[in-house]
Structure 1
Amino acid sequence: MPINLPHILRQVEEACKASPCNQKFCRLVAVSKEKPIQSIIKAYNFGQRHFGENKIIHLYDKSYAPELINSCPDIKWHFIGRIQSNKIRKLAGVNNLYMVETVDSMDHADILNSTWGLNHQIPLNIMIQVNTSGEPRNSALLHNSIFREEWHQTH
């Protein structure tokens, strides 16, 4: 972990302030895969709050690690990997899950929505992966189906 994390966080903050975009959505997500818990705690103590994992089992286990729960009470976990249907329920059970960054099908969105809603009062932040090229081998929602999918979620 770089010693200059506080400097990097200040640079991100300054870039957010200079941006015309909503600053609420500008943040650094530290990818913590394969990093020991002590490194996550150290980064947290430097001011980093958002951490990403690309494997659901590692994310789940870290989110319930007593050392992290005690040392990092307001940690915000991001899932940054590809979702597998058989692991969505486990993903919905992650402690302090803040965002799922790669929802690529409505089936996954539906399962995640129904399992998340059972135990949580606030909505889960998600990013939808959109296939803008139209290539069938890309796993994502086709850009021309977004409005139909939005209707699907609201009705």
Structure 2
Amino acid sequence: MSISENLIKIKKSLPSHVTLVAVSKTKPASDILEAYDAGQRIFGENKIQEMVEKYNNLPQDIEWHMIGHLQRNKVKYMAHFVSLVHGVDSLKTLKEINKQAKKHDRVINCLLQAKIAEEDTKFGLSFTEIESILTSENLNELSNINIVGLMGMATFTSDTTQVQEEFSKINTFFEKIKSQNKGITTLSIGMSGDYKIAIENGSTMVRVGSAIFGSR
């Protein structure tokens, strides 16, 4: 099937409260435009340089999400346009995003990345560390960022029971912090291989790449 056919099929399968982020990393502008022409407006990239280049060359009403691991020294390159930063894993990074957002008189929405996978390769914060950030006095000084929720990645495995358990764990924690922080609304879990399980476990945002654009 074509990109637009894949996209339309996935969008039809999503509940109305779930936002689709089309993961366009490594894909050419022509592929993004095909998805754009089929109605998609939110795209996710994992390298800032690539996202900046696409931002400069593609329609200006696209919402760009930074979904990859974030290097603090590169935040300045995307601060003038990025819509949502998914993978924030330290207070230092939040401070840098705030500093760069301030220069552009913007408030940048951020998700705190929770480590839910067993793999050592995944970045992220423990639930305790997330609670510590959310209750930190320093957070009140960061008026140019807005923490709107959590992001997590399950273990890369065919064991759906394990994936289900990891998503269930982050959803329980998400519901807890949501009840304590009125601005927390977004749970970004689920990718091409597991987004249906993620939705069953409270996901409000899924990051789908290969199921739309084909394998990389």
Q: Same fold (TM over 0.5)?
A: yes
Please say if residues 50 and 77 of structure 1, whose CA atoms lie closer than 8 Å, have aligned partners that are also in contact: yes
Sort the Cα spacing of 1:3 and 1:117 in 2 relative to 1 into closer, same or farther, 3 A.
Answer: same
Please say if residues 9 and 48 of structure 1, whose CA atoms lie closer than 8 Å, have aligned partners that are also in contact: no
Corresponding residue number in structure 2 for 1:108: 93
1:131: Cα distance to partner? Answer: 3.9
Corresponding residue number in structure 2 for 1:120: 105
What is the CA RMSD across the aligned residues, in angstroms? 2.5
1:132: Cα distance to partner? Answer: 6.1
Sort the Cα spacing of 1:49 and 1:115 in 2 relative to 1 into closer, same or farther, 3 A.
Answer: same
Of 143, 146, 149, the residue aligned with 2:127 is: 143
Q: Percent identity?
A: 32
Please say if residues 53 and 59 of structure 1, whose CA atoms lie closer than 8 Å, have aligned partners that are also in contact: yes
Q: Does 1:41 align with 2:29?
A: no
- Name the aligned partner's letter for residue 75 of structure 1: I
- Name the aligned partner's letter for residue 10 of structure 1: K
Alpha-carbon distance in 2 for matches of 1:38, 1:136: 35
Q: Does 1:52 align with 2:44?
A: yes
1:8: Cα distance to partner? Answer: 2.2
1:101: Cα distance to partner? Answer: 0.4
- Name the aligned partner's letter for residue 19 of structure 2: R
SS at match of 2:78: helix
- Name the aligned partner's letter for residue 91 of structure 2: M
Sort the Cα spacing of 1:149 and 1:136 in 2 relative to 1 into closer, same or farther, 3 A.
Answer: farther
Of 29, 38, 48, the residue aligned with 2:21 is: 29
Please say if residues 52 and 78 of structure 1, whose CA atoms lie closer than 8 Å, have aligned partners that are also in contact: yes
Unaligned ranges ≥5, structure 2: 142-216
- Name the aligned partner's letter for residue 140 of structure 2: T
Alpha-carbon distance in 2 for matches of 1:35, 1:131: 27
- Name the aligned partner's letter for residue 124 of structure 2: A
- Name the aligned partner's letter for residue 64 of structure 1: N
SS at match of 1:47: coil
1:137: Cα distance to partner? Answer: 8.3
Please say if residues 60 and 91 of structure 1, whose CA atoms lie closer than 8 Å, have aligned partners that are also in contact: yes
Please say if residues 69 and 123 of structure 2, whose CA atoms lie closer than 8 Å, have aligned partners that are also in contact: no
Q: What whole-Å deviation, never above 9, does each CA across 1:3-29 have from its counterpart, x for those lacking one?
A: 4122322222xx22xxxxxx2xx2111
Sort the Cα spacing of 1:11 and 1:88 in 2 relative to 1 into closer, same or farther, 3 A.
Answer: same
SS at match of 2:39: coil
Corresponding residue number in structure 1 for 2:56: 64
SS at match of 1:127: strand
TM-score, structure 1 as length reference: 0.76
Alpha-carbon distance in 1 for matches of 2:121, 2:22: 29
Of 109, 113, 132, the residue aligned with 1:129 is: 113
Sort the Cα spacing of 1:3 and 1:138 in 2 relative to 1 into closer, same or farther, 3 A.
Answer: closer
Runs of 4+ displaced beyond 6 Å: 135-138
Count of residue pairs brought into register by the alignment: 137
